A and B are shown apart, each in its own frame.
Chain A
């Protein structure tokens, strides 16, 4: 259910670009999805297939690249991976500071389209 509004947005953007570029058919959609997203890839494709019926993007395949979540230390600038399920506080591996912020792993980004 949560996939639906996101997929609707993706389809909107894709169709706008397809129209602008006089595309006959969209074959593949390359997406970057933040690792912190709770959306299921399989359901994203199902909803996409449903919503895109009869459009230029019908039967297009979503190619999803997961973008890992990363933290940055506010003290020394070190960037390191965030593991959501790991226990304990986020200590910077370089300087042991605890003040670290998420800088990647959120959001949805359409990179490019493979089209005919």
Chain B
């Protein structure tokens, strides 16, 4: 035998696999199940401090009378946000991501189990506060929303293009700070629309309540579809 088995040859194995394919499959399953239950899920993303919890509290105040609402709070390791939401009067589940900076579809599935016995029209998933990982992982939500707050600056679409490209709606929060900053709403709008021409942009202030009605109107409209 001439062939020497002791010398290993390098082989090539074709993989051709999208690494998030399995997550997307779980996410598609969740979306379908929720749709059959007539529950609409919104994935809310933003940097820490942009106003996710404040917006949720405003949303509860504006919608809880005619829409049955639940909240899934994802946080790296705290219960603060879920407690705030429960105080505002709706059921909430806290997911601790254990150090992970995003939630994926199977984590959301666990959160949904916690809300399972409630019949809900709308579930808001408050994702972990950052603009990087949450953009990569499909959560199973029907729509993606993000908040950009004025103090963060109008250059964020240039720095985190992926996040802006996957969202259906962009809430620009803290517009009451506009006079104290060089935030250029028009410039930001242009930067966002070139990434995502279909995105709806809604300026609000959770502090003064300005624009909140526009946000509630959008949410009512999409959650009815």
Contact = CB atoms under 8 A, between A and B. Distances in A.
Interface of A: 1-2, 4-6, 9-10, 13-14, 17, 21, 23-24, 27, 34, 36-38, 69, 84-85, 88-90, 98-102, 106-116
B116 interface: no
Given A38-B162, A101-B197, A116-B10, A6 B19 contact: yes
Interface stretch (B27-35, B81-89, B118-126, B128-136): B128-136
B15 A108 contact: no
Contacts, number: 94
19 contacts: A2-B133, A5-B100, A5-B101, A5-B133, A6-B19, A10-B19, A17-B17, A34-B162, A36-B165, A69-B161, A88-B190, A89-B193, A90-B194, A101-B197, A107-B19, A109-B19, A110-B19, A111-B14, A115-B10
A13 B20 CA distance: 10
Interface of B: 8-20, 23, 100-102, 104, 130, 132-133, 136-137, 158, 160-162, 165, 190, 193-197
A111 B16 contact: yes
Contacts of B15: 13-14, 17, 110-113
A108 B20 contact: yes
Contacts of A98: 197
A27 B133 contact: no
